[in-house]
Amino acid sequence: MESDNNSNTAAGVGLLLRYASQNSLDESSQKQIPRSGRRERTPYRNCSHTVRVFEVLQSLRKDGVLCDIKLETDDGTVVYAHKVILSSASPYFHAMFTTFEESTKDCVIIRELDSTALKLLVDFIYTAQIMVTEENVQVLLPASNLLQLHDVQDACCDFLQTQLHPTNCLGIKAFADLHGCMELLSSSESYIQQHFSEVVEGDEFLSLSSDQVVKLISSDELTVPSEEKVFECVICWVNHAPTSRKDILPKLMEHVRLPLASKEYLLKRVEEEPLLKNSLECKDYIIEALNFHLLKSEQPGTIPKTIRTKPRQPVGLPKVILVVGGQAPKAIRSVEWYDPATSRWQPGPEMSTRRCRAGLAVLKDSRVFAVGGFNGSLRVRTVDMLDLSSPSPCWVPTVTMLARRGTLGVAVLDNYIYAVGGFDGTSGLNSAEVFDCSTQEWRMISSMSTRRSSVGVGVLNNLIYAVGGYDGLSRQCLKSVECYHPSTDTWTPVAEMCVRRSGAGVGILDGVLYAVGGHDGPEVRNSVEAYRPSAGIWTSVADMHMCRRNAGVVALDGLLYVVGGDDGACNLASVEVYNPNTNTWSMLLASMNIGRSYAGVVVIDKPSHFNT
């Protein structure tokens, strides 16, 4: 019997055998005898067990069953709970119930803690769920900070970050600073700098202290259309409480970079401001600014460097490419935009009228202007404007040009919009005009030496280049180029291109002027050439993959984008990208939603309401 029992035992899987002669050996000499053909077992796990247990605990808590602690707030609200559950979730409660005198009590009064927040946070401890809203976030954040419930604190900060708006961002910044939410503080500071023009229009700005205003306007990263906006907001802030604030004005003006404002603005607005006339220190800043303009034109190398002559260098918003109107095959209203971060095209605010062969311009304050063009019946002199800073942007008519212009070139220089050449329905134009945003008026400037319709225009080194086009008289496409000097109101010729190009796209990248595609009569080109002012000649670069004319060209993130156009047979939805470092072209994987030529194309800061 004994031998039978031994043999049965030996047949067991994984049983430990100790031979009689080995009783004195250590554990390392013992042998495992595995069973063959069986898998190693894993523990049984019920994934819903913890959830069900906490559901029961929450139910017990709601009924006051087996609870060993009552939490009471200043208003008399009582919340029942279990010490062990609270301690497992909150370091605050863990210390309270294991170290301090509250560990022996069954009721604890928590001072200066909102009762609504306490109930929500205890519910969160039991359920892992909480709804952060505009109504409760201001009590939840400090309460979760006190109880060291970091998940809820992060949820509150994330919620506030999504709520940032020019009307509340200063308050959110102060709230984040008060409660040590560093990521939210950084985000709100960046938002304020990027939306400065809208922020200073609100009541929160007028309530800032002088030190807070100084900190804001002294930032190098402030995004402003011009320094004039900074000056105006300072004057507005002082005028809000002039009796107590007028003596602080010199302290503020020290950080307004008046030399960067236009000379005309200094003479007509700043010098005439009553608050400055009574301050000798402020007058010194005006004199410094006027001297800066005098030296810039006569002795640029002698300009003194101060904090007020240093241009601001804002950290911009993400950029997207905006494409407006065009021909597909008739004039269209549609607008779309491309986000390089997602490689996707999305529809944008549709124009109120059909428009192709127009010029497109964007100003620093996020206003986009569609200038002139063809509406399907007539060449027009109308101008429509899209304010991207508006929560619900839509195209609205604005001041019309002096002449009808289609297939014109448009450029922005020093916040002025220039409309160059074009076709009025009868003949090509050599005239040009400029729009002054401050006076809201168009005025004619000197005419070019040559009539140019389908002209490409670009701004480089504060000069406006008019590239190629069609003169309508010789019935030839042009390879001539001329540039406009705003300071002298004159056009001067520069080196001719290597070949004739009408309808060429023009783009500026890293100080180089590119003429892309175009046509010479029936021949549509895929060739590209580049002009460097220092060399004074045009040189060929790599050809595009496709022949294109009437395409839009913009520079973004060190690359040159050529958008749409036509190949002589059909309108194109494709986009090509040029890398100057490798002198190579690549096709963008995402094409536009519609093939279009003669479209307006610009790069804009991505508005917050442009969602992907």
| Residue 600, CB-side half-sphere exposure with 13 Å CA sphere | 34
Q: Is residue 352 part of a domain?
A: yes
Query: Which residues make beta-bridge pairs with 356?
Result: 374
User: pLDDT class for 27, splitting at 50, 70, 90?
Assistant: very low
For residue 128, what pLDDT band results from cuts at 50, 70 and 90?
Answer: very high
**Contact assessment for residue 517 and residue 548, using Cβ atoms and an 8 Å cutoff:** yes
Same domain, 269 and 137: no
Residue 572 sits in a domain of what CATH number? Answer: 2.120.10.80
Res 13: pLDDT:
39
**How far, CA to CA in Å, does 482 sit from each of 106, 416, 492?**
88, 19, 5
When mean pLDDT is compared across 31-35, 117-121, 250-254, 586-590, the lowest value belongs to 31-35
Burial of 474 (0-12, 13-18, 19+ CB in 10 A): exposed
pLDDT at 8 over 70: no
Residues 221 and 86 placed together within one structural domain of the fold: no
Per-residue pLDDT, 165: 92
pLDDT for position 365: 61
Together in a domain, 422 and 283: no
The long-range contacts involving 260-266, CB below 8 angstroms and separated by at least 24 positions, are: 260/226, 260/227, 260/308, 260/309, 260/311, 260/312, 261/226, 261/227, 261/228, 261/231, 261/289, 262/226, 262/228, 262/414, 263/290, 263/293, 265/228, 265/438, 266/290, 266/293
Residue-wise pLDDT for 581-594, tens only, equals: 999 999 999 999 99
Q: What angle do CA 221, 224, 228 make, to 5 degrees?
A: 125
Last residue of a domain, one of 233, 268, 302: 302
**Percent of the chain, pLDDT > 70?**
92
> Is 285 found in the same domain as 409?
no
Which positions ≥6 away from 579 have C-beta within 8 Å? 558, 559, 585, 586
pLDDT band at 1 (very low <50, low <70, confident <90, very high): very low
Q: Same structural domain for residues 294 and 356?
A: no
Query: For residue 25, what pLDDT is reported?
Result: 38
- Quick one: average pLDDT of 374-381? 96
Kindly report which listed range (307-316, 454-463, 527-536) carries the lowest average pLDDT score. Answer: 307-316
Nearest to 285 by CA among 264, 260, 268, 314: 260
**pLDDT at res. 299:** 64
Query: DSSP characters for 320-389?
Result: EEEEE--BSSSB---EEEEETTTTEEEE-PPPSS--BS-EEEE-TTSEEEEEEEE-SS-EEEEEEEEETT
pLDDT tens readout for residues 519-533: 999 999 999 999 999
Q: Do 397 and 519 reside in the same domain of the chain? A: yes
Q: What CATH number corresponds to the domain at position 128?
A: 3.30.710.10
CA distances from 401 to 134, 371, 444, 537, 594 (A): 47, 8, 10, 34, 29
304 pLDDT tier (thresholds 50, 70, 90): confident
Residue 506 and residue 374 share a domain: yes
Range name among 166-175, 362-371, 486-495, 563-572 with the lowest pLDDT average: 362-371
The residue from 163, 196, 230 where one domain ends is 163
| Cα separation values, 217 from 73, 197, 198, Å | 43, 11, 14
Indicate the pLDDT class of residue 610, thresholds 50, 70 and 90.
confident
Average pLDDT over residues 561-578: 97
Per residue in 388-441, pLDDT tens? 878 788 999 999 999 999 999 999 998 899 999 999 999 999 999 999 988 999
Q: What is the pLDDT of residue 297?
A: 64
Q: At what angle do helices 210-217 and 227-240 cross, to 10 degrees?
A: 180
CATH assignment of the domain containing 262: 1.25.40.420
Q: Is the pLDDT of residue 328 over 70?
A: yes
pLDDT at 518 over 60: yes
Based on the domain organization, do 570 and 544 belong to the same domain?
yes
Q: How confident is the model at residue 14 (pLDDT cuts 50, 70, 90)?
A: very low
Tell me the pLDDT band of 22, cut-offs 50, 70 and 90.
very low
Look up residue 225 and give its amino acid: P
Query: Does the pLDDT of residue 479 top 70, yes or no?
Result: yes
Least confidently predicted of 106-115, 116-125, 309-318: 309-318
Domain boundary (163, 190, 223) is at: 163
User: How many CA atoms lie less than 13 Å away from 338 in the CB half-sphere?
Assistant: 24
Which residue reads 């072209």 in tokens? 585
- How much is the pLDDT for 38? 67
The mean pLDDT value for 543-554 works out to 98
- Model confidence pLDDT, tens digit, residues 223-248: 888 899 999 999 999 999 999 999 99
Distance of CA 169 to the CA centre of its chain: 16
pLDDT given at position 34: 53
- Radius of gyration for the alpha carbons in the chain, expressed in angstroms and rounded: 35
pLDDT for res 370: 98
Q: Which of 317, 360, 362 is nearest to 607 (CA)?
A: 317
How confident is the model over 242-256, as a mean pLDDT?
A: 95
| Average pLDDT, rounded, for the chain | 90
User: Which of 263, 191, 201, 202 minimizes the C-alpha distance to 227?
Assistant: 263
Determine the structural domain holding residue 60 and report its residue range. Answer: 50-163
Across 102-106, 163-167, 444-448, the highest mean pLDDT is recorded for 444-448
Quote the pLDDT of residue 37. 59
575-579 and 600-605: which strand pairing? unpaired
- Pairwise CA distance, residues 573 & 447, whole Å: 35
Q: Verify that 366 and 479 share a domain, yes or no.
A: yes
Residue 170 lies in a domain: no
Mean pLDDT score, 204-229: 93
pLDDT of the residue at 288:
93
Note whether 118 and 77 are within 8 A (CB). yes
- Has residue 56 been placed in a domain? yes
**Helix and strand totals (H; E) in the chain:** 18, 31
Q: Are 286 and 325 members of one domain? A: no
pLDDT of 327 > 80? The answer is yes
286, 376: one domain: no
Whether residue 232 lies inside any domain: the answer is yes
Domains contained in the chain, number: 3
What pLDDT does residue 607 have? 82
The pLDDT, as a whole number, for residue 536 is 95
pLDDT tier at 85, thresholds 50, 70, 90: very high
- Does residue 477 form part of some domain? yes
The string of pLDDT tens digits covering residues 180-209 is: 999 999 999 999 998 899 999 999 999 999
How far apart CA 357 and CA 374 sit, in angstroms, is: 6
Kindly state the percentage of the chain with pLDDT values over 90: 80
Domain assignment present for 490: yes
- Look at residue 206 and give its three-state secondary structure: helix
Phi, psi of 601, deg, nearest 5: -135, 130
* Confidence category of residue 504, pLDDT binned at 50, 70, 90: very high
The pLDDT assigned to 424 comes to: 96
Question: If pLDDT is split at 50, 70 and 90, which confidence band does 97 have?
Answer: very high
Instruction: Tell me, yes or no, whether 298 and 348 share the same domain.
Output: no
Q: Does residue 198 lie in a domain region?
A: no
Measured from the Cβ of residue 577, the count of other Cβ atoms closer than 10 Å reads 18
Residue 334 counted as domain residue? yes
3-state secondary structure of 50: helix
- Quick check: pTM over 0.85? no
**What mean pLDDT comes out for the span 454-470?**
96
